[in-house]
Amino acid sequence: MLSQEEKAEIDKELSHVPTKQAACLGALKIVQAHRDGWVTDEGLLDVAEYLDMSPDELDSVATFYNLIFRRPVGRHKIFICDSVSCWITGYKEILEHLHKQLGIRPGETTPDNKFTLLPIPCLGICDHAPAFIIDETTYVDLTPDKVEDILKEYD
């Protein structure tokens, strides 16, 4: 069941668009934000019912977009840019350093459920490559030393 809070937020999305389906990605993001950062089958069914969509159709949309998570994720998501400018300026070094420090590869979550590491296409901050985003904070001009300090902020 959608909570009152979730419903209120989805209703706000609905007020900007002429069809219920148009609010479905917004609704999935709302449910994701309220429920441990990912959309469970139950969450998907709740949204589908509320927006008069079939669960299959909604899932086909949900799984298309890389920022809707249909699997569990850690408390913090590290989105590391793996596109060309970051690749040229040292993305691999940063990725190796994250692996050394956290023991995870792209797509994996640390055993303490603290971090999930996800590759993401170009973050549009190529003049300060290499870069990553943790949750909603962007970190730029990364070096291995800098990464170590940044991760400490999440202790």
Q: Among 38, 87, 146, 150, which residue sits at the site for another protein (rule: CB under 8 A)?
A: 87
Give me the 88-107 binding string for another protein, x by CB under 8 A, dash otherwise: xx------------------
Residue 136 in the binding site for another protein (CB under 8 A): yes
106, 95 in Cβ contact below 8 A? yes
- CB of 89 or CB of 110, closer to another protein: 89
- Nearer residue to another protein within complex by CB, 77 or 97: 77
Does residue 56 bind another protein (CB under 8 A)?
no
For residues 51 and 27, is the Cβ–Cβ distance under 8 A?
A: yes
Structure tokens at 37: 């950062």
Q: Applying CB under 8 A, what is the total number of residues that bind another protein?
A: 40
Contact 50, 19 (CB under 8 A): no
Interface stretch with another protein, choices 33-41, 87-95, 106-114, 147-155 (CB under 8 A)? 87-95
* Of residues 25-44, those binding another protein (CB under 8 A): 25-26, 28-29
- Following DSSP, what letter does each residue of 67-119 receive, concatenated? TS--S---SEEEEEE-SHHHHHHTHHHHHHHHHHHH---TT-B-TTS-EEEEE
* Distance in angstroms (rounded) separating the CA atoms of residues 103 and 49: 40
Q: Which is nearer to another protein, 70 or 101 (CB)?
A: 70
Minimum CB separation of residue 41 from another protein in Å reads 18
Q: Helices (H), strands (E): how many in the chain? A: 7, 4
